[in-house]
Amino acid sequence: MDRRLPIVALAALCLGVPLRAQTFSVALLEDAGGAEGRELSEALVGGCLDLLFDAGLIATNEAIGRIDRAGFKSGDLGLKAAREGYVDYVALVWVRYVDTPTEPPERVPETLDWRLLRVRDGTALAEGSSAPPRLESKTGDERRDLLTRFGRSLADAWMKALRKERG
């Protein structure tokens, strides 16, 4: 009987504490009025997801969309899809790409805004603007690598906000 008591107590404790992983979605939106940068955006999202996975979150991303800055700043953008997907947190990232005046023109990120939301109630946990890395005169691989690392730094900022939220 002495051996069973600790086992029963441990089993009751485990059953009483819900085990549930935190789920996280990244939704990247490109400026509808700017140049399209699908390959660069995918590198950015890839870096975000890498860090989120490394942090132990179940992370996914939405299809890259296009919206103007005013649309990004408004309302509960991204919450409906996140709720339908049973996501706990969603990071909305808006990026504007421009073509440089060089010959040949090079596509570079000009502006980036982001917002981290708790899906359950739509509360913004953190938001900000980040200066994207300078990509002029870089090769395609160097551009993707810089944006992947930049994505990891964005996700690191989100993780700090989540740690603060969790206490």
Is the residue at 162 inside a domain? yes
Residue 31 has pLDDT above 90, yes or no: yes
Residue type, 2: D
pLDDT at position 12: 46
Render pLDDT for 88-102 as a digit per residue (tens, 0 to 9).
999 999 999 998 888
Q: Tell me the mean pLDDT in the region 4-29.
A: 63
pLDDT at position 100: 84
**Strand, helix or coil for residue 31:** strand
For residue 138, give the DSSP letter.
-
Contact criterion met (CB below 8 Å) for 108 and 98: yes
More confident of the two residues 162 and 2: 162
More confident of the two residues 7 and 167: 167
Is the residue at 14 inside a domain? no
Contact criterion met (CB below 8 Å) for 119 and 90: yes
The tally of domains found in the chain comes to: 1
More confident of the two residues 59 and 139: 59
* CA distances to 16, 86, 101, 103 from 154, in Å: 35, 23, 28, 31
Residue 74 CA to residue 123 CA, distance in Å, equals: 13
Contact criterion met (CB below 8 Å) for 62 and 81: yes
pTM > 0.95:
no
Closest CA to 26 of 111, 94, 72, 76: 94
Q: Tell me the mean pLDDT in the region 67-76.
A: 84
CATH number of the domain encompassing residue 52 = 3.40.50.10610
Give the percent of the chain with pLDDT over 70.
86
**What's the domain range around 62?**
19-166
The kind and range of the H/E element at 84 are: helix 79-84
pLDDT at position 2: 57
Is the residue at 3 inside a domain? no
The kind and range of the H/E element at 27 are: strand 23-31
Q: Tell me the mean pLDDT in the region 2-17.
A: 49
